[in-house]
Each structure stands twice: as C-alpha cells, then as structure tokens.
Chain A
Amino acid sequence: MDSINNYRLEIKDLVVKVEDKLILNGLTLSMNKGETHAIMGPNGSGKSTLSNILAGKSGYDVVSGSINFCGNDLLLMSPEERAVLGVFLSFQYPLEIPGITIINFLKTAYNSLLKARGKDEISASDFLKLIRDKQRILEISDEMTRRNLNVSFSGGEKKRMEMLQMLLLDPYLTILDETDSGLDVDALKSVSNAINLLRSKNKFILVITHYQRLLNYVIPDYVHILYKGKIIKTGNKQLALDIEKNGYSGITEAA
C-alpha cells in the first residue's frame, strides 16, 4: 500500500475512439495528491471525452493506454465503483430528472457510497444536518432541494447543484468539466469557493475549461494544453494567462 501509485493519478498513452474517430491520441498525464491541474484546449480537442472516460461513461472505445488511480485500474471499473473509490465528475450539462427530488437523490447517492464502503446508512436527521451545512456554503435553500433534480433550473443553479453534490460526496478525485461555463460573477465565486474548500483537504482536482477566468479563483498548480487528443504543452498559471491574451493558435501551430 505504500507504493507511490497509491497517491497518484496516472493516465498513460490513452488512445480513445468514438465510432472510428480518434478523439484521444496518446494522452499522458500524472497528478499527485493535493494538486490541482487545469486542462485547457480549443473546441473538439477531447476535453469532455477525457472527463467522461475518467468517470466511466460507456460508448467510448479505449484502444490502448491505462488509467491508474491510487493503485486501481479505473478502466476496469463501473461508474458506481469509481464513485465509491472517490471519483466525481461535475457534469458540463447536468441532466434534468423529473420525479426525483434533489434531497432524495442526494440521500440515495450518499447512502449508496456508505453501503458500498461497508458502512451503515446515515439517519434522516443526521443527513439533513449534513446537507444543510453544505447548502449554506453554496447559499442553496431548503425549498430548492425539495424540487425535482435540475428540472427548470438555470445554468447557474445546475452548476451550484453539482457543487452541492461534490461537497456532500467529498470525493478524492474531482473532475470539473467546464463548471465555469454560463456562470455570472457571483455564481462563479460561489462555485470557486466550493472547489477551494475541497482543495484545502489535500485532494486531486482536475479543472477542465475553455477560459482562464475560473483559474483566477481556483489557482492551478499546473496548466496543460490539450490539442487533437494530446497534451501539447504544460506550464503554470501563466500559461493560462497567455492563452487568454493570445489564444490557442500560437501553441497549436507550434505543435
């Protein structure tokens, strides 16, 4: 258990196709515990595919490569097994599910994880206390948690709901797929606040984004540029600022 692998996310030479189209083309990335990495890239570079692959979505053809998270071969695991391990994807487009209230959904998810980890389910009153603590951080009212999951929510409300799930499930590896898109300044601050709270707990955080503005609030340790399914450049916070100023073209042309 003390191998270095136990505290790393290692993505090696990942090649992924969708219906014969090459999306990831030998992607390699490694992260240490406690680090926050940002992946930036133009449209169609494979950002969402990477997040879906990490969370275990089906429909992708993994041709070669591996993903090892803390000694576990992620590619062999179902989405729910990955969640039990502590993997969490904040969806770019969270789904609207009528007929399931947020509070019931959150409780079911929380208890599923406890059960899979061999622990007792939480009592209704303890759960309510726990979720209210998290709601306060995101300024989410009880009224909102009684609504149906994401149904008729604004873009910002949906993202805040993703953050509520994140804080509740307290994951080890969080993948934020364009969590900043469609947010106004206040919502952006509230979302960043939630991410930073998690960050302070020594977790793995992977921020996937088009723009650098979220990175003003969640300052990454590393910034990677994804282009045509590969990481073509890695740098620090400054790299994101350069892209904001000059666009991707300078880097992609060099690649």
Chain B
Amino acid sequence: MIKSSNYHTSFSFLDSFDFKLFDKVLFDQEFLQKERIKSLEYFRENSLPTPKVEEWKYFDLGKISKLDFSQSRKIKKEDKNLLINDLPNYGPRVVIINGEFCSNYSNISSLHGKVDFHNFLSSDMPIKQVNLNYIKESLSSNTDSLKSINLAFAKDIFVLVIKEGCILEQPIEFINISKSSGDNVCVNPRLIIISEEKSESTVIETCISYSKNYLWSNHVTDIVLQKKSKLKHCKFQNEGLKTFHTSKTKIKQLTASEYNYYLFNNGSLQSRNEINSELQGSNSVCDISGCYFISEDQHSDILVDVQHLASSCESNQKFYGAADCNAKGVFQGKIHVGEGTLNSKADQISRGIILSNDSQIFAKPELNILAEDVKCTHGVSIGELDEEAIFYLRSRGIPEKEAKEMLIYSFILDTLNEFNSKNIVKIFSELIEREISKKFVLS
C-alpha cells in the first residue's frame, strides 16, 4: 500500500526487470542481485514522493508519475554515429548512450596507468579490496525512490578510479546521451568515482538527450575522495525539453581532500539536481557552485546538502540563475555542522535574475548548526536586470538584447571566477555565453 504522501505510478519498465543482467560480472553477483531486487521492491512499495514531503516541496514528480516509461532499446550504429559526431572533444572521454557503455566512441587509453575504468558488463580488471568496499556501499539499496529505480534498472555500472598520487592535467569527460525514438523511455546511468590518495583530476559530465516522446534520465553518481586527493567535477546538463532530469550526486570526503563542483544546468523540462557532500575527514574543502538558465516552461531545482562531520573543514555553496518566460528556478541549500566539530567554516549564497513577469525563483537556505566553533554565512538575492546598466550599455550603441546578454553573462560569471582551473573556466564560460544568446528572448 503506497503512502498518501507518495504518488501511485504504473511504469512499464517495472515489469522488465532483468534478473540475469549482471550474472557474469566479476563483482559479488549475489550481493548485487539482492540489492537490485530490494531496490525494485522498495520502489514498488513506495513509488515517488509528492510535494508533501518537505524536500520535494518545490519539485513535483506528478508529471513523471502520470506518464508511462519503458526501458530503452538498443540504438543502431548509424544513429549512434549521428549522435556522437557533433560533440566537442576535449580529450579523454567515456561515451554512454542510454546507460550503456560505447567503447567505440570512448577513448581513455592516454590515461593508462593513471586511471582504471571499469564497466561491470565487460570489464575484466580486478578491483582493489578497499575500492570494492566503496563500490558495495554505493550499490547498497536504501530508502530513496530515485536511487532505487536507478540501481534496479541501471543497464551497466561504471567505476572510474584515479590512482594514488596520479595528477591528471586533462579533464576526463563522461558524455551521457539519452535517446528514444518510440515510447517514453527511462534511462538510469550509474557512475562511481574513486579519487585515490593524493590524486588530482578533473571530470566533466555532459548530459544530452534526443527524443520525440518523453524521456526520463535518472542519474546516480557516487564519489569518494580519499586522503589529500583533489577532484574537480563539472556537469553540463543540456538535455532536450521533453526530458525529465533527476540526478543524485553523493560525495564522501576523507581527510584533507578537496572537492570542487560546478553545475551548468541548462536543459530539460524539469530537472532536479541533488548534491550531497559529507565532510568525513578533517581539513577538507568542499566547493559546490553553479548556475542555471531556464526559459519557456522549464523548471530547475537544485538541492545542495553539505555535512560538516569533521573539524577544520571549509565549504562554500554558490548558485546563480536566470529565469525567463514561465520558468521556475529553485535553490535549496543545506549546511549541517555536526556536534563536537571545531573550526568549521561554511558559506552559502544564491542569487537569481527574473527576466519576465511570469518567471519565478525560490531560495531556501537551511542551516543546522550543532557546534559552537563555527563561521557560517548565507545570503539570497533575487531581482531583475539593472535598468541603469542596460541603459549605460545601450547608450554606447549596444543593442538592447545584446546589452542584456552581456549583463546576464557578467552576473553568471561570478559563479565561475573562483573555480580553480583555467581550462574549466574557459570551457564553461564559452558554453554559458553561447547558451545565453540561444536561450533568452530578452526584448
């Protein structure tokens, strides 16, 4: 019996659970099978939460719950070629189409010896015991509807290990492509990143989709940063306007680790990005920032939850967005400072620009401070573009639309300026500039 705070759903894909999917993998098959079945059962019993559940207050899964979704089918090679050819290529990359690994289009050979990449269905490399423990933790079933669907219906499981002490200059790109040509399709990519001790690397996730009908891409990414490791993790969500994007990123940080996250949330009809970091080891730094552009009937919901569970950690949350037409943007930022921790520093700021009469932006800072030795700040501002500044630029001959684009760009760039990588700043500032002129009406 489904609770009244949850939706009833009747997704076709629930009947196509593949019992034999991971039968031949090197990993503990019995464990994986048990967890997948438990996840399936959890979802059958609980389905999806409604906005009555506090953390779903601003994001209504109702539209998804009313639709029917199937599992994705195999995509023809010619179609794959078409999907891949237009993509930028920054260097080493892993291409995943509808949750399945595409070895032909992926290339990480240049990282040999520094990085191990496993995909459960075809990889035969052994995995270190310590990393196996992390993977098992990630693949354990839990009481979360979206994670349960993902674990039960992920078509493969990807593990990226950046090896101890390795410093990677070039970013590794994960390109997630979702495509449906017939039915509504649900895709469940699952990625685990293990940043071993003293390693330094950059990972860029790009999410795109092509569909005539509805598509639901439901991502789960689990990350572990071991002692003194550094990971820069960026995501460009640029899925089509018939796609629902739900994503849960969980980061576990051990002592003196440094995690920098940047999200550019641009696509999808409805998108929900949850980023949850647990600072488990002291002297760690966690920086979670990003921006969103929404227009038409888009809805972007970003939920950040940073947990200071050890002393002398620093965290920073910074999200800016711009909303046009009927779009709705939400930022919920939680800071938790655990009991007994010392010398914690946590900052949070969210800002938004409303570009039309009907667009909306909500911000909800939540601070839960259970320790005394804490420096914590939070701030929110939501407003319109500065008319004086628009006039200033126009008075120099710059047309109104371009003047507004320049001001949005200058506003958003503030989220990227502090990102500690020139390469990433360049890639994302160019993406941001390009999308501003494509996206907003601004007249």
Q: Which residues of A contact B (CB under 8 A)?
A: 55-59, 78-80, 82-84, 88-89, 91, 94-95, 97-100, 105, 108-109, 112-113, 116, 148, 165, 169
> In the complex the two chains form, is B400's CB within 8 Å of A109's CB?
no
Q: Please provide the 8 A-B residue pairs with the shortest distance between their CB atoms, ordered closest to farther.
A: A99-B410, A83-B397, A79-B394, A109-B396, A99-B413, A113-B397, A112-B397, A95-B392
> In the complex the two chains form, is A97's CB within 8 Å of B400's CB?
no
> In the complex the two chains form, is B409's CB within 8 Å of A99's CB?
yes
Q: Which residues of B contact A58 (CB under 8 A)?
A: 387, 391
In the docked arrangement, what's the CA distance between A148 and B413, Å? 12
Q: Which residues of B contact A (CB under 8 A)?
A: 386-389, 391-400, 402-403, 406-407, 409-414, 417
Q: Which residues of B contact A95 (CB under 8 A)?
A: 386, 388-389, 392
Contacts A97-B410, A98-B414, A100-B410: A57 and B400 contacting too (C-beta < 8 A)? no
In the docked arrangement, what's the CA distance between A224 and B185, Å? 74
In the docked arrangement, what's the CA distance between A94 and B393, Å? 11
Measured CB to CB, the nearest residue on chain A to B409 is A99
> In the complex the two chains form, is B397's CB within 8 Å of A97's CB?
no
> In the complex the two chains form, is B392's CB within 8 Å of A80's CB?
no
Contact of B397 among A94, A98, A148, A169 (CB under 8 A): A169
Could you write out 8 A-B pairs with CB less than 8 Å apart? Answer: A59-B387, A78-B400, A79-B391, A95-B389, A97-B407, A99-B414, A100-B409, A169-B397
In the docked arrangement, what's the CA distance between A149 and B397, Å? 16
> In the complex the two chains form, is A165's CB within 8 Å of B411's CB?
no
Most buried by A among B388, B394, B410, B413: B394
Q: Which residues of B contact A88 (CB under 8 A)?
A: 395-396
Contact of B402 among A78, A98, A99, A108 (CB under 8 A): A108
Contact of A108 among B389, B395, B398, B400 (CB under 8 A): B398
> In the complex the two chains form, is B400's CB within 8 Å of A98's CB?
no
A16 CB, min distance to chain B CBs, angstroms: 16
B411 CB, min distance to chain A CBs, angstroms: 7
Contacts A58-B387, A97-B407: A109 and B392 contacting too (C-beta < 8 A)? no
In the docked arrangement, what's the CA distance between A78 and B399, Å? 9
Q: Which residues of A contact B394 (CB under 8 A)?
A: 56, 78-80, 83
Measured CB to CB, the nearest residue on chain B to A100 is B410
> In the complex the two chains form, is A98's CB within 8 Å of B410's CB?
yes
In the docked arrangement, what's the CA distance between A169 and B397, Å? 9
Add 13 more A-B contacts to A55-B391, A56-B391, A95-B386 (CB < 8 A).
A55-B395, A58-B387, A59-B387, A80-B397, A80-B398, A83-B394, A83-B395, A83-B397, A97-B389, A98-B410, A98-B414, A112-B396, A116-B397
B386 CB, min distance to chain A CBs, angstroms: 8
Measured CB to CB, the nearest residue on chain A to B417 is A99
> In the complex the two chains form, is A80's CB within 8 Å of B406's CB?
no
Contact of B411 among A91, A99, A105, A169 (CB under 8 A): A99
A158 CB, min distance to chain B CBs, angstroms: 12
Contact of A112 among B391, B398, B412, B413 (CB under 8 A): B398
In the docked arrangement, what's the CA distance between A79 and B397, Å? 7
In the docked arrangement, what's the CA distance between A97 and B402, Å? 15
In the docked arrangement, what's the CA distance between A109 and B394, Å? 9
Q: Which residues of A contact B397 (CB under 8 A)?
A: 80, 83-84, 109, 112-113, 116, 169
Q: Which residues of A contact B413 (CB under 8 A)?
A: 98-99
> In the complex the two chains form, is A100's CB within 8 Å of B406's CB?
yes
Contact of A56 among B395, B398, B406, B410 (CB under 8 A): B395
In the docked arrangement, what's the CA distance between A136 and B394, Å? 26
Measured CB to CB, the nearest residue on chain B to A90 is B395
B385 CB, min distance to chain A CBs, angstroms: 11
B387 CB, min distance to chain A CBs, angstroms: 7
> In the complex the two chains form, is B399's CB within 8 Å of A112's CB?
yes
A200 CB, min distance to chain B CBs, angstroms: 23
Most buried by B among A97, A113, A169: A97
Q: Which residues of B contact A165 (CB under 8 A)?
A: 396
Q: Which residues of A contact B387 (CB under 8 A)?
A: 58-59
Measured CB to CB, the nearest residue on chain A to B391 is A57
In the docked arrangement, what's the CA distance between A83 and B399, Å? 10
In the docked arrangement, what's the CA distance between A112 and B414, Å? 25
Most buried by B among A80, A108, A169: A80
Q: Which residues of A contact B389 (CB under 8 A)?
A: 95, 97
Contacts A58-B391, A79-B391: A169 and B406 contacting too (C-beta < 8 A)? no
Q: Which residues of B contact A97 (CB under 8 A)?
A: 389, 392-393, 406-407, 410
> In the complex the two chains form, is B392's CB within 8 Å of A91's CB?
yes
In the docked arrangement, what's the CA distance between A169 and B393, Å? 13
In the docked arrangement, what's the CA distance between A24 and B386, Å? 25
